[in-house]
Structure 1
Amino acid sequence: MEPPEGWDPYGRPARRTQWLVSALAYHYGLDRGVENEIVVLATGLDQYLQEIFHHLDCAGEGRIPGEDFRTLCQVLGLEEAAEAAADPEECAALWDGLSAELTFRQFHARLCGYFSTKAGSAVPRLPLGRESEHIETQIRLRSPRRRRRRDAAGPGRAEDRIAKLEEENGSLRELVEDMRAALQSSDARCLALQVSAVRELERELKSSQEALVSLEDCNRNLKREQAEMRKKVEEARQAVRNSLGKVKELEVKANEVPHLQVYIQQLESELQHYR
């Protein structure tokens, strides 16, 4: 099946090989022009996903927080792709009914369901086997065909050579298997660290935002208190002005007292004269 127009598993330049995204895209037939390590990683996809789940599940409880899954999708660039998708089913495969915690089966089903929806598959592939947590370990590698050459030394020597080649091939398969497991484990740890870093950054950002809101509240309270203080100062200033006015009135009246005393004395003198 041809990949949908605009699909680009290497769309994030920060990491040249977006291994998990590329392995899932290759597994579901969305991208065939991939590098050799992607082909190798895709052969052990269940183990790859379980490695990532294991590193996200630091406590070993068999569950990871739903927010960690969402953050992983952000790290992989799937959230932006899902939100920008024309088909709402693609986004639904990731977010609909996302619970507070996810088991490995749910984690596996959501990631695989997203890519299987893109590939046009009605049912996402689930991990096989007991408890739905089968780890796929068999490696299938493509090798170029070589022409058979006749061995002039006879059939005995040819059988020895075939046995030696089979032994070397088995050793190479074991080496590739070890390298695949190491590569998966390394990338799983890297993704888990990225998720942890993003979550910690989000917590710090949330804490900073809460501190900023608290400071803004304090600033508003201070401004309100300053306005109230200014109002009280203005009222006090007005009261002082009124008091000064009354003092001046009293001073004027006090200055009139001597004149009144003289006038009273004159009236008393006149009164005595008439008597």
Structure 2
Amino acid sequence: MDLALHPRFTAQSAHANGVSALVFNAGRVYSASKDAQIKEWDADSFQLIRVFSGHSRWIRCLALGNGRLFSASWDNSVREWDLETGLCVRVFEGVHESGVNSVLVDEANIRLYSASEDRIIAVYDLNSGEVIDRWEASGGIIALHHIQLNGDLGYIAAASDNGTIGLWDASSGELVDSSPSSSNEVTSLFLTAGRLFSAGNDKLVTEWDVSSMVKGRTFRGHSAYVSCLTGTEGESEGVPGGPRLFSGGWDGSVKVWDLVTGVCIASLRVFEGRSVNSICLGDDGLLVTGGSNGDIKFWNLRFLASRLLMTMHR
């Protein structure tokens, strides 16, 4: 169902270049961009609160953990930010030889992971900041995701620019699986409802069994490169039923998938002639989308839910 809804608010030209990452925390939305800046927004008033400056190149990823914000950049570094002061309190550099595409925080096991175009996944002690391990992948790493299975530290899934998804045992540092996807480049990973989902430049979203890394269902609907994923476990975010998966693509849309049936239940037309580069979910039915034109749009999923219910009962 293609829905032409109006966002609650649009921050036009929020960034001077494309919005590459979004995260939500405690009533705040943090956005990052090719303009090398991080911006903090009030999720209720949609007003800009402050700007975090320090990176010199494209910021590819944001992650929250340990009460801090972490950013990965093509200046080959990861920065750690104090959310109270907005100041950079630590820089992880001298580890990667190419741009850093992803950063992941494992608070429970006091670890930080960074992944780069140089094919290296670096493992840090989150307290000391020291590198305690390095893993080498078969391609440049685009995205990371933590999977807690039977291992003491769980597993790290790594999406590569050669179309593979590697699964690393975080305890031993061993590569236990490397699964080819149907895409030449895997752009995003997301874990919800006990299943791993990947997206890529083949216009598809693919479901994986996390214990065996065997492919499950394929979700078709985007007409271009799928760039970002997020999801819900249930109804708390304002969409009826659940769990749900959200995918954003270069076709300018965000699609909402029912993970029980595998059906696309809604398609939001977010940008005309521009791509959706990043998405995140907040409290009380908030969906935030970032575009290649630097715009950030704030959506009300509860209104989307009411539109869906009205349509279902016609």
TM-score of the pair, normalised by structure 2? 0.20
Say which structure is richer in strand.
2
Say which structure is richer in helix.
1
**Greater relative contact order: 1 or 2 (C-alpha under 8 angstroms, separation 6 or more)?**
1
Which protein is bigger by CA-based radius of gyration?
1
TM-score of the pair, normalised by structure 1? 0.22
